[in-house]
Chains A and B, each alone.
Chain A
Amino acid sequence: MPSAAIETTELTKRYGSVTALESLSLSVTEGTVYGFLGPNGAGKTTTMRLLTTLSRPTSGTATVAGADITDRDAVAARIGYLPEEPPLYDELTGREQLTYVAGLRDLPDERTRERVAELTDLLDLDALDRRIEGYSSGMRRKLGFIQAVLHEPPVLFLDEPTNGLDPRAARTLRDTLDRLADGGTTVFLSTHVLPVVDEHADMVGVLSDGRLVAEGPPTELKRRAEGDGAGDRTLEEVFLEVTAEDPASEAAAEEPAAAEESTDG
């Protein structure tokens, strides 16, 4: 039976009197794509920063690929991370950037060359020998994605990975996510592009005001919404419903357990 690649228990983060994330408990199965949704300011980036060890939780625990998030070095060795703004050095060329990152990961030179060739070919990223400062936003994102998966991490955190990509590149990247998941990589995907989640995620979690207000497979969430008697629902409608700022959202907030139960079952 597949084990959990990411597991959080009552994970909470407070900045002074502001609670950015409250008692997040979730489990992401190995080799799956987990779609992480939420309105702006819901706490998605905070969660990503906690799970990638860039920030420390106020309380609660979490493990990533079996490593506790308090053990930064162990987590770092097992993850790849593409934040919303790809972390790149404008003064370097694309190839220099990838060589640098591979060096920090102790990837053998030969393997680095193979991976760079394979991934740049896959994502159609040419101009690797140009300075990054001259890259378009799509090229920057492709390069950021390549450096995140270069070392074949077991867990991959992606924040809006298709932002700025043309339709063909976006499709290629989404297909790559499926391939990575088929190969055993766990993908934790935060995005506002709901059709991407609908199509590729095995499991969806919806965060609102720092709390997980819905969780389950996309089909399950839609089916549950249809159960309200409103007919066919899209994931977008489900999202709008569970994150709505009205009493209905309070009710929706109590749903995750139910959704999880049905999933487990």
Chain B
Amino acid sequence: MAETGWSRHALRVGFVEWRRSVRATRTDAARLALYGVGALFGLLALSLGVYLLVAVAGDLSGVRVGDGVRGNLALFWLFLTFIVGQRAISLYDRVDAEALVLTTVSARTAAVGLVVAETLRALTVVAVPVLVLTGAFVYATGALLAAVAVPFAVGCFVVTAVVVGVTLGWTAALLVATVPFVARHKTALGSILVLAFFGGYMAFQLGSVGAPVDMALLGVLPPGWVADLLVAGSPVGGSTLRAAAVAVGAPLAAGALGSVATRVTTAYWYTDPVYPTDDGESDEVAAPVADGRDALAAAVAPLSVPAFGGQPTRRVAQLALVRTRRQPARLSFLLAPLLIVGSTLLSYAGASGGVGLDLAPVVLALALAWLSGAAFGLNPLGDEAPLLPATLLSTVGGRRFVRGLCLPGLLVGVPLATLVTAAGVVAAGHAPLDAAGLVGLALVLSLGAVGLAPGVGTRFPRFDAVTVGRSREVIPPALSAVAVYSLGVGLAGAVAAVSLLAPDVARALCAALVSWLPALVLSVLAEQGLPTAGLARTVAAAAPPIRSVPLPAVRAVGYAGPLALVALAGYRGYRRAARRFDDCQLD
């Protein structure tokens, strides 16, 4: 049951939730900057899209929508649904200010409000490009019906993806809240799910470049039929039956699934959560401290944190290890990017008949080095959260605090990255010099990453929590921190690895980036009448000397240079993190 006027109330809840997210984004300078960069690329893509639309508009009469196009659209819909599902389970599985909202309106109203808010967020992102492209399409083809059909089709696409994603996300949350097995293994199950999804996703993506899995197979899925509605009334041929099916079916499906979503979430919100130990297993208890170890030392056993950094450093390190062990959900946010990379590699290996095995040690070295820093140090101030004032007022000081954060990475991450990479190069059968280089890469990169992470993490701290499962709040690192840190570690590692294993490719890439690409841009500008022709010739002239650099030199410099830089960045990151901790103000 819901109160009178519930749909109006739900729209109001949705609109206010949407407005809150917009305001939260506006006040987050780092996130705004990232969106700005995204918008810049979006603008370029949009301009290209408009240009292409207008250019090909005259030749569209013989073109028909095929299963390949439908499959691409269906795959994108699945991707969008997955992202929405992840957001539903982690960001808004419960309504904010629950004590207010649920004692003011019905749970159904609140749930529908959350769906409306997520739909508005998605539409905010696509609204401008869709309207511009629609305008260009109508202008170029003269198909007036497209002015209605395209926005309607996009609306159907977005709304169904949101409703299905939210339903799946909330169902997963309900399972975590009600099934002890799922609650106990939610991190592992979630990882398998991400791996399976992105594995499948990449298999279809690679299918478009010749692998056995054909994208057209997905063309049978109704979300792909949106393509037929998109071209309704235009010179492009499409299936009228499919277009009609989408126009009628999408609103009906959204309504039906919306009803399911509200039932699921109402059950979830009012269910007493099970805990991982509810089916009889005993809860973890503190280890006995009879052997002379103190409680924290016993809690991290069988690991042992040496005391060389002093007692405060040791305590910070032990605390970081204990918290990670007892709340593995803290790592789930970091595992997602790794799983995406891993599943991509697996798909690639599968699609190409095993070529990926050569790349496995490189990916392992990069991923584990990345994880060595990210696992413990990518949000040091936010991780302290309510304890931060006490930590700041303690006598630990910045250097000892940051050393404590680095210790787990040094004790666990660096050896793990190095040993696993060593095992990987043996399995892949790399030549001795390549093998030694890759192991060295893993060692130096992980060392640098351990110092770089707190440096970046203190520069972009995040203090707002995200709910994982039921009543477990986790503060993940800021998106900007993850982006900057990943770019630093990933770029340095990739350049070093390519230089080591394929110096000719590294040399060609260098020539392209330093010479050919800028020269091309400058030439295009010169054709537009700008005085850049001379500069274009000068830049183009740099390519031959680069291509004549001996490969051993490319190998040595390309390998050692980035690694030296990342080591230096690690040291500076550590110093800066310590300074930021000492200067931290709780405004």
CB-contact partner of B270 in A15, A55, A81, under 8 A: A55
Given A87-B97, A91-B24: A73 and B1 interface contact (C-beta under 8 Å): yes
Contacts between chains A and B (CB distance < 8 A), count: 75
Distance in angstroms from B9 CB to nearest chain A CB is 5
Distance in angstroms from A34 CB to nearest chain B CB is 18
Are the C-beta atoms of A89 and B96 separated by less than 8 Å?
yes
Given A76-B3, A87-B97, A89-B96: A52 and B103 interface contact (C-beta under 8 Å): yes
Q: B27 — nearest CB in chain A belongs to which residue?
A: A91
| Chain B residues closer than 8 Å to A147, beta-carbon distance | 100
B-contact bits for A69-80, CB 8 A (1 contact / 0 none): 001110111011
Are the C-beta atoms of B12 and A104 separated by less than 8 Å?
yes
Give the most central of A53, A91, A101: most B CB within 10 Å: A91
Are the C-beta atoms of B100 and A101 separated by less than 8 Å?
yes
Given A52-B99, A89-B16, A104-B12: A76 and B270 interface contact (C-beta under 8 Å): no
| Chain A residues closer than 8 Å to B20, beta-carbon distance | 89, 91-92
| Chain A residues closer than 8 Å to B274, beta-carbon distance | 16
Distance in angstroms from A231 CB to nearest chain B CB is 42
Are the C-beta atoms of A100 and B103 separated by less than 8 Å?
no
Given A76-B3, A89-B16, A92-B20: A81 and B99 interface contact (C-beta under 8 Å): yes
| Chain A residues closer than 8 Å to B208, beta-carbon distance | none
Binding site of B, secondary structure by majority: helix, strand, loop or mixed? loop
Are the C-beta atoms of B96 and A79 separated by less than 8 Å?
no
| Chain B residues closer than 8 Å to A76, beta-carbon distance | 3, 102-106
Given A77-B3, A91-B24, A103-B12: A54 and B105 interface contact (C-beta under 8 Å): no
- The reply to whether the CB of B107 lies closer than 8 angstroms to some CB of chain A is yes
CB-contact partner of A72 in B4, B9, B19, B106, under 8 A: B106
Are the C-beta atoms of A73 and B106 separated by less than 8 Å?
yes
Q: B6 — nearest CB in chain A belongs to which residue?
A: A73
CB-contact partner of B16 in A52, A53, A55, A100, under 8 A: A100
- The reply to whether the CB of B76 lies closer than 8 angstroms to some CB of chain A is no
- The reply to whether the CB of A105 lies closer than 8 angstroms to some CB of chain B is yes
| Chain B residues closer than 8 Å to A72, beta-carbon distance | 1, 102, 106-107
Q: In the bound complex, what is the Cα–Cα distance between A83 and B97 (angstroms)?
A: 10
| Chain B residues closer than 8 Å to A77, beta-carbon distance | 3
Q: B10 — nearest CB in chain A belongs to which residue?
A: A104
- The reply to whether the CB of A56 lies closer than 8 angstroms to some CB of chain B is yes
Q: B278 — nearest CB in chain A belongs to which residue?
A: A16
Q: In the bound complex, what is the Cα–Cα distance between A103 and B16 (angstroms)?
A: 11
Given A76-B3, A88-B97, A89-B20: A53 and B103 interface contact (C-beta under 8 Å): yes
B-contact bits for A226-252, CB 8 A (1 contact / 0 none): 000000000000000000000000000
Q: B107 — nearest CB in chain A belongs to which residue?
A: A72
| Chain A residues closer than 8 Å to B1, beta-carbon distance | 71-73
- The reply to whether the CB of A264 lies closer than 8 angstroms to some CB of chain B is no
Distance in angstroms from A54 CB to nearest chain B CB is 6
CB-contact partner of A106 in B2, B5, B24, B102, under 8 A: B5
| Chain B residues closer than 8 Å to A53, beta-carbon distance | 102-103
Are the C-beta atoms of B270 and A56 separated by less than 8 Å?
yes
Q: A48 — nearest CB in chain B belongs to which residue?
A: B99
Are the C-beta atoms of B104 and A104 separated by less than 8 Å?
yes
Q: In the bound complex, what is the Cα–Cα distance between A15 and B275 (angstroms)?
A: 10
- Chain B 84-122 residues near chain A, CB threshold 8 A: 96-107
Number of contact residues on A: which range applies? Answer: 20 to 34
Are the C-beta atoms of B97 and A73 separated by less than 8 Å?
no
Are the C-beta atoms of B102 and A54 separated by less than 8 Å?
yes
- Chain A 72-124 residues near chain B, CB threshold 8 A: 72-73, 75-77, 79-81, 83, 87-89, 91-92, 100-101, 103-106
Q: In the bound complex, what is the Cα–Cα distance between A36 and B150 (angstroms)?
A: 60
Q: In the bound complex, what is the Cα–Cα distance between A26 and B401 (angstroms)?
A: 53
Q: B25 — nearest CB in chain A belongs to which residue?
A: A91
Distance in angstroms from A67 CB to nearest chain B CB is 12
| Chain A residues closer than 8 Å to B275, beta-carbon distance | 16
A-contact bits for B265-277, CB 8 A (1 contact / 0 none): 0000010101100
| Chain B residues closer than 8 Å to A56, beta-carbon distance | 270, 272
Give the most central of B19, B24, B97, B274: most A CB within 10 Å: B97
- Chain B 15-63 residues near chain A, CB threshold 8 A: 16, 19-20, 23-24
Are the C-beta atoms of A79 and B103 separated by less than 8 Å?
yes
| Chain B residues closer than 8 Å to A104, beta-carbon distance | 9, 12-13, 101, 104-105
| Chain A residues closer than 8 Å to B24, beta-carbon distance | 91
Q: In the bound complex, what is the Cα–Cα distance between A55 and B103 (angstroms)?
A: 11
- Chain B 250-298 residues near chain A, CB threshold 8 A: 270, 272, 274-275, 278
| Chain B residues closer than 8 Å to A106, beta-carbon distance | 4-5
CB-contact partner of A73 in B2, B12, B16, under 8 A: B2
CB-contact partner of B99 in A15, A87, A105, under 8 A: A87
| Chain A residues closer than 8 Å to B23, beta-carbon distance | 91
Q: B12 — nearest CB in chain A belongs to which residue?
A: A103
- Chain A 14-64 residues near chain B, CB threshold 8 A: 15-16, 52-56
A-contact bits for B184-224, CB 8 A (1 contact / 0 none): 00000000000000000000000000000000000000000
Are the C-beta atoms of B98 and A87 separated by less than 8 Å?
yes
| Chain A residues closer than 8 Å to B100, beta-carbon distance | 81, 87-88, 101, 147
Q: In the bound complex, what is the Cα–Cα distance between A54 and B5 (angstroms)?
A: 21
Are the C-beta atoms of A100 and B12 separated by less than 8 Å?
yes
Q: Which 7 A-B pairs have the closest CB atoms?
A: A87-B97, A87-B100, A91-B23, A91-B20, A83-B99, A87-B99, A81-B103
**24 A-B residue pairings within 8 Å (CB atoms):** A16-B274, A52-B103, A54-B99, A72-B106, A73-B2, A73-B3, A76-B106, A80-B103, A81-B100, A81-B103, A83-B99, A87-B96, A87-B98, A87-B100, A87-B101, A88-B97, A89-B20, A89-B97, A100-B12, A101-B104, A104-B9, A104-B13, A106-B5, A147-B100
Interface residues of B (CB under 8 A from A): 1-5, 9, 12-13, 16, 19-20, 23-24, 96-107, 270, 272, 274-275, 278
Interface residues of A (CB under 8 A from B): 15-16, 52-56, 71-73, 75-77, 79-81, 83, 87-89, 91-92, 100-101, 103-106, 147
Known contacts A91-B24, A104-B104, then 20 further A-B pairs from the complex at CB < 8 Å, ordered by chain A residue: A52-B103, A53-B103, A54-B98, A54-B99, A54-B103, A55-B272, A75-B103, A76-B3, A76-B102, A77-B3, A81-B103, A83-B99, A89-B20, A92-B19, A100-B12, A103-B12, A104-B12, A104-B13, A106-B5, A147-B100
